[in-house]
Amino acid sequence: MKEDNQLINLLEKKLDTALLPVDIEEKYVDQLRVRLFKAPLISVEKDNYLLIVSLICLSFITGLIFVFILSRMFSSNRKRIAS
């Protein structure tokens, strides 16, 4: 028991010498603070799915209208030729 306590005391002394506070550079602290609050130089662009879907829908509708107009034009031409 006494030996146990002695070992624990010895270990505590070792911990006392091993675990010392590490000094942090003031320059690093200041630079990090500036970096934290500075707007990032590189901005990450996120995909705007709503915009992409709207563009696809719009081009699809435009295509449909275009095909409809073309088909109307051809059908009126054919009627004219037939008559």
CB of 17 to other proteins, least distance (A): 7
Q: From residue 7 to residue 36, what is the string marking binding to other proteins with x (rule CB under 8 A)?
A: xx--xx-xxxxxxxxx-x---xx--xx-xx
DSSP 8-state assignment for residue 12: H
Place of tokens 């275009």: 66
Single out the residue of 56, 78, 58 nearest to residue 66, CA to CA.
Answer: 58
Q: What does the block give as tokens for 65?
A: 């209208």
CB of 1 to other proteins, least distance (A): 13
Q: From residue 50 to residue 79, what is the string marking binding to other proteins with x (rule CB under 8 A)?
A: ------------------------------
Task: Report the interface residues with other proteins, using CB under 8 A.
Answer: 7-8, 11-12, 14-22, 24, 28-29, 32-33, 35-37
